[in-house]
């Protein structure tokens, strides 16, 4: 058992120091009927590193990974190239195996990273202040709804039909218990977003409007009129960004008046990982910072007057405020935040803009090519790196058939909105820098066969 | 026992004089390197990544092109590697030595776990990929779930919670859904005053009033006081076991029986499961829901504050209310039960907690750790952890006053980090040498 450092001799020596005859004696506080006298039956015993690696590799081999196929999936998780140095650096033991930075004197590395990460996120999203991360975009989204309730003391949130349906589901789950009233409709297959309808729905009971940008169908629209309408009614605008690379090309939500901007940071540095761990981004205007959930790192000076970093405004948090905390979140996504921050440092503004430009250009080429396939109509007038196709057939079945041909051809709206059959022909297609001209061609030809 | 709730002062009590060494031009002292912020050393014109030339296309961004300066500094690749390597040296971590934390299980993070999690078949998999293309990933979730259910003696497990506190939320939402399903509105959750701050915060989030359970002088739940408080308004009791004082709640089964007799549920904070894994099954103690921190008991890295992973094992009574999505074996394959399929057989589910399926990257690591240890190794882990903890306790007898460990009692304090000790270390920290 390679991870257990004690030998039987050590164990005997230690027992004699303790004054116990056996380890069993140390479990005397466990009621006798609940004490297991031997290992649990029916489970395998320990295995060699080689055997375990083979077992896991066999399971990994049963999956078709994104890199093995022409790949066009998005809808909240995006395949981007992550530079090799990112993964190397996050595996340094001093980062990987460090504890949460409660003790600043032994965690200045993590704390400076978080301080830099927060500043990068705030600038990217166009906000004054960002926290040290949440679990993922969906949980950040419902935390934002709760934060808007605390700020406005109103309980009705209006969710855009363009918000990721899983984010809506998460918010609905939480609202059942917090008592928030959530208004939401499924999207329709229109080129325009639902911003006009959202504006019309705002009233004096509205705590916030939650709008995704770009939205689940890849559509983008100026949020300024929505922010103005929300503010005029005393409500907040919460913007949700599931593809942060987009903000290298399009205006930041904060710059258009959003009060709280949350997002999924997976796109930068983190990788697909079948849905987790991901990275919740959370930023807001300075005046709302005391209602923010989660950890916040700030700059200070140490006893010798030198710059240092500490967790700050902790009186919002559960470890101090217990039942009066702004959230129950404790562990967040520290290592994913590190990966994001390293990748963003490698990119810099220049690299981010180039990456965004490349994504957009390839997406435009793919949209034009796919729209030429008989039975395919491009829904969007505008988009960043993701758009919706309306097919002549059920898209869910099409996606399955494409997978059988070795093409991972987008996410069907049928999978995302199973209760809305009118969306069944919709297919959301994402195109990043990892897509080649050959991939686009292969996808178009397979789709043509499928729709023929 | 009184808990310190104010936190500790962060302002310096007095300026500590430097050690008398002369100032250096860079601020560096020997191998301790000063490191500036990226905003001080980077430039918006510098990048450490090269891209292919983008094809020329007509923009589809409408009027939304971002023209302002974003203010994101870049560094070349070697500057980036230096920046983060230097910062890493300002951290203490498990890889550098003992981490005997009172509030968290810290243990060795095997590197095989990291290697496995990075296999493209796991790392490069989209959460919404067609199910026919992700059967191996669903198998991992199913296999890990089976281990967790068996090790805890529970009925089922909800895999999607993202961390311990998120798992607490899952457990309490299942409890509340179960109570609502039987038309039994209850308003109070009882929490020991020694509980981790997430316990009361979670209960309050779920709309419950939080009341303290008093502790006995020996650091355990006061059974008689608890029994006296139970009544038709109490929804659940949240208990950490082994508890925050490092002690096993001797009366756990009696507590559970009393709680159940009063129509309430038992939530167990499993933060310290490491000390009993393979030796005690919470299911045998009457627990209804318990989160398991994969980043504590099952060795996934803490990463300087996450990501965690908090699957929640559930009793038979709570299983129908488990969150979506989850994995089921059907025939020779695995099926991910999402919203549409749930309607048919799992209509009582309280809903979805996260966008996708939970912390897959942690599942692969935890399963790798579990398979490496097996049933025999996991039991030995708990044995060694408790042995180490009691050895430390006894070794410190002469210098520290152990508030709850006296009168010959054994402790289960979470000393799992000790599993990573070099063998000489216990002697070196013993004051008696």
Could you tell me the CATH number of the domain that includes residue A242? Answer: 3.40.640.10
The 10s digit of each residue's pLDDT in B407-423 is 456 676 443 343 322 22
Domain count, chain A: 2
Backbone angles phi, psi at A283, to 5 degrees: -140, 155
B249 vs B272: CA distance, rounded Å? 12
The 10s digit of each residue's pLDDT in B18-31 is 455 667 777 777 77
Interchain CB distance below 8 Å, A97 and B120: no
A110 and chain B in contact, CB less than 8 A: yes
Which among A35, A30, A28 has a CA at the least distance from the CA of B251? A30
Among A110-124, B57-71, B400-414, the minimum mean pLDDT is found in: B400-414
> Could you tell me how many residues make up chain A?
452
Average pLDDT value over all residues in chain A: 96
Identify which has the larger pLDDT, B406 or B29: B29
B117-366: what fold?
3.40.640
The 10s digit of each residue's pLDDT in A241-281 is 999 999 999 999 999 999 999 999 999 999 999 999 999 99
Average pLDDT value over all residues in chain B: 87
**Which residues of chain B does A38 touch, with a Cβ-Cβ cutoff of 8 Å?**
379
Do residues A179 and A206 both lie within one domain? Answer: yes
pLDDT at B433: 24
Among residues A343, A363, A395, the one where a domain terminates is A343
Among residues A322, A343, A364, the one where a domain terminates is A343
Strands (E), A56-174: 129-130, 156-159
Distances (CA, A) of B414 to A141, B94, B107, B242: 34, 15, 10, 8
Identify which has the larger pLDDT, A386 or B9: A386
Interchain CB distance below 8 Å, B137 and A274: yes
pLDDT at B422: 27
pLDDT at B404: 61
Burial class (CB in 10 A: 0-12, 13-18, 19+), B35: buried
Do residues A249 and A302 both lie within one domain? Answer: yes
A5 closest CB neighbour out of B92, B357, B422: B422
A149 vs A180: CA distance, rounded Å? 8
pLDDT at A280: 98
Range of the domain at A389: 67-82+349-451
Residue A150, H or E segment: helix A137-152
B409 vs B390: CA distance, rounded Å? 10
Which among B162, B163, B190 has a CA at the least distance from the CA of B175? B190
The model's pTM is 0.94
In sign, the C-alpha dihedral spanning A200, A206, A211, A217 is: negative
Which among B126, B25, B350 has a CA at the least distance from the CA of A66? B126
Q: Is residue A389 part of a domain?
A: yes
Interchain CB distance below 8 Å, B304 and A350: no
Which among B206, B242, B244 has a CA at the least distance from the CA of A323? B206
pLDDT at B205: 86
Do residues A145 and A181 both lie within one domain? Answer: yes
Q: Are strands A426-430 and A386-391 parallel, antiparallel or unpaired?
A: antiparallel
Distances (CA, A) of A436 to A73, A384, A387: 14, 17, 17
Contact status, residue B325 vs residue B352, Cβ threshold 8 Å: yes
pLDDT at B419: 31
**Which residues of chain A does B210 touch, with a Cβ-Cβ cutoff of 8 Å?**
322-323
**Which residues of chain B does A79 touch, with a Cβ-Cβ cutoff of 8 Å?**
124, 126
Q: Integer distance in angstroms from the first to the last C-alpha of chain B?
A: 32
A43 and chain B in contact, CB less than 8 A: yes
A32 vs A291: CA distance, rounded Å? 48
pLDDT at B22: 66
Do residues A383 and A298 both lie within one domain? Answer: no
Q: Which residue of chain B comes nearest to A330, CA vs CA?
A: B165
B372 and chain A in contact, CB less than 8 A: yes
Do residues A242 and A169 both lie within one domain? Answer: yes
Non-local (6+) Cβ contacts of B265 within 8 A are B175, B178, B179, B235, B236, B237, B259, B288, B289, B317, B318
Do residues A255 and A356 both lie within one domain? Answer: no
A203 pLDDT exceeds 80?
Answer: yes
The 10s digit of each residue's pLDDT in A419-439 is 999 999 999 999 999 999 999
The 10s digit of each residue's pLDDT in B122-181 is 999 999 999 999 999 999 999 999 999 999 999 999 999 999 999 999 999 999 999 999
Buried b (16+ CB within 10 A) or exposed e, B71-98: ebbbbbbebbbebbbbbbebbbbbbeeb
A77 pLDDT exceeds 60?
Answer: yes
pLDDT band at residue B403 under the 50/70/90 scheme: low
**Which residues of chain A does B354 touch, with a Cβ-Cβ cutoff of 8 Å?**
135-136, 138-139, 166, 170, 275-276
Strands (E), A351-450: 376-378, 386-391, 411-412, 426-430
Show the DSSP H helices in B73-163 as ranges. 77-88, 111-117, 120-123, 135-152
pLDDT band at residue B103 under the 50/70/90 scheme: low
Q: Which of residues 218-237 of B touch A (CB under 8 A)?
A: none
Interchain CB distance below 8 Å, B99 and A99: yes
Domain residue ranges in chain B? 117-366
Among residues A324, A343, A362, the one where a domain terminates is A343
Buried b (16+ CB within 10 A) or exposed e, A72-101: bbbbbbbbbebbebbbebbebbbbbbbbbb
Tell me the sheet residues that pair with A107: B91
Task: Specify the CATH number for the domain of residue A415.
Answer: 3.90.1150.10
């Amino acid at each position: 058992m390679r991870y257990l450092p004690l030998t039987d001799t050590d164990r005997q020596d230690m027992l004699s120091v303790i004054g116990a005859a056996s380890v069993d004696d140390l479990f005397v506080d466990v009621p006798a009927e609940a004490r297991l006298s031997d290992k649990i039956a029916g489970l395998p015993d320990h295995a060699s590193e080689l055997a375990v690696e083979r077992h896991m590799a066999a399971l990994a081999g049963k999956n078709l990974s994104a890199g093995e196929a022409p790949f066009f999936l998005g809808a909240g998780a995006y395949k981007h190239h992550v530079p090799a140095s990112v993964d190397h650096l996050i595996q340094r033991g001093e980062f990987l195996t460090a504890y949460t930075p409660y003790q600043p004197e032994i965690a200045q590395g993590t704390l400076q990273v978080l301080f830099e990460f927060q500043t990068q996120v705030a600038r990217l999203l166009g906000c004054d202040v960002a926290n040290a991360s949440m679990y993922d975009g969906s949980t950040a989204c419902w935390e934002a709804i709760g934060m808007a309730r605390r700020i406005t003391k109103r309980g009705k949130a209006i969710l855009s039909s363009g918000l990721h349906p899983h984010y809506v589901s998460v918010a609905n789950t939480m609202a059942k218990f917090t008592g928030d009233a959530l208004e939401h409709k499924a999207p329709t297959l229109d080129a325009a977003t639902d911003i006009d309808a959202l504006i019309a729905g705002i009233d004096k009971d509205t705590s916030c409007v939650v709008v995704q940008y770009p939205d689940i169908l890849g559509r983008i629209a100026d949020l300024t009129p929505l922010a103005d309408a929300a503010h005029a009614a005393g409500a907040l605008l919460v913007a949700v960004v599931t593809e942060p690379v987009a903000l290298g090309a399009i205006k930041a939500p904060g710059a258009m008046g959003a009060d709280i901007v949350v997002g999924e940071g997976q796109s930068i540095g983190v990788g697909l990982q079948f849905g987790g761990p991901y990275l919740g981004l959370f930023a807001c205007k300075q005046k709302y910072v005391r209602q923010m959930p989660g950890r916040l790192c700030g700059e200070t000076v140490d006893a010798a007057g030198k710059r240092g970093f500490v967790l700050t405004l902790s009186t919002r948090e559960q470890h101090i405020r217990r039942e009066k905390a702004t959230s129950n979140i404790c562990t967040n996504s520290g290592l994913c935040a590190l990966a994001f921050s390293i990748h963003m440092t490698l990119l810099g503004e220049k690299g981010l803009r180039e990456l965004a430009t490349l994504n957009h250009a390839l997406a435009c080429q793919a949209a034009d090519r796919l729209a030429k396939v008989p039975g395919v109509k491009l829904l969007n007038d505008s988009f960043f790196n993701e758009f919706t196709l309306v097919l002549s057939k059920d898209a869910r079945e099409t996606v399955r058939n494409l997978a059988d041909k070795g093409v991972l051809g987008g996410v069907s709206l049928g999978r995302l909105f199973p209760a809305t059959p009118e969306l069944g022909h919709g297919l959301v297609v994402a195109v990043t820098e990892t897509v080649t001209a050959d991939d686009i061609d292969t996808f178009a030809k397979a789709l043509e066969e499928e729709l023929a | 026992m009184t808990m310190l709730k104010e936190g500790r002062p962060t302002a310096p009590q007095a300026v500590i004089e430097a050690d008398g060494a002369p100032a250096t031009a860079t601020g560096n002292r020997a191998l301790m390197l000063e490191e500036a912020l990226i905003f001080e050393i980077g430039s918006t014109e510098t990048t450490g990544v090269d891209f292919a030339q983008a094809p020329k296309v007509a923009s589809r961004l409408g009027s939304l092109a971002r023209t302002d300066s974003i203010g994101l500094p870049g560094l070349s690749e070697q500057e980036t590697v230096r920046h983060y390597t230097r910062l890493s040296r300002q951290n203490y971590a498990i890889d550098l030595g003992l981490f005997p934390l009172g509030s968290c299980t810290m243990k060795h993070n095997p590197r095989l776990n990291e290697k496995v999690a990075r296999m493209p078949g796991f790392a490069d998999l989209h959460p919404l990929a067609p199910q026919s293309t992700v059967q191996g990933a669903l198998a991992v979730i199913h296999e890990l779930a089976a281990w967790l259910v068996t090790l805890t003696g529970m009925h089922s497990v909800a895999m999607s919670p993202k961390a311990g506190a998120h798992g607490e939320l899952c457990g309490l939402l299942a409890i509340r859904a179960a109570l609502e399903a039987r038309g039994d509105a209850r308003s109070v959750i009882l929490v020991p005053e020694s509980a981790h701050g997430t316990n009361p915060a979670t209960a309050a989030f779920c709309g419950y009033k939080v009341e303290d359970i008093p502790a006995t002088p020996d650091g355990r739940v006061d059974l008689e006081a608890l029994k006296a408080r139970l009544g038709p308004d109490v929804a659940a009791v949240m208990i950490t076991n082994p508890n925050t004082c490092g002690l096993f709640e001797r009366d756990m089964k009696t507590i559970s029986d009393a709680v159940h007799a009063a129509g309430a549920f038992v939530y167990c904070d499993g933060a310290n499961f490491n000390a009993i894994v393979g030796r005690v099954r919470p299911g045998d103690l009457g627990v209804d829901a318990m989160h398991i921190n994969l980043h504590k008991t099952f060795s996934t890295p803490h990463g300087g504050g996450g990501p965690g992973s908090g699957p929640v094992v559930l009793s038979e009574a709570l299983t129908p209310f488990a969150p979506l999505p989850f994995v089921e074996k059907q025939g020779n394959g695995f099926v991910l039960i999402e919203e549409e399929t749930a309607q048919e057989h799992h209509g009582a589910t309280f809903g979805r907690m996260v966008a996708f399926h939970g912390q897959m990257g942690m599942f692969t690591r935890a399963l790798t750790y579990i398979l490496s240890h097996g049933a025999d190794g996991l039991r030995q882990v708990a044995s060694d952890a408790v042995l180490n903890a009691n050895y430390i306790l006894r070794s410190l007898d002469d210098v520290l006053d152990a508030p709850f460990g006296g009168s010959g009692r054994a402790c289960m304090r979470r000393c799992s980090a000790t599993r990573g000790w070099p063998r000489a270390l216990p002697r070196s920290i013993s004051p008696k040498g």
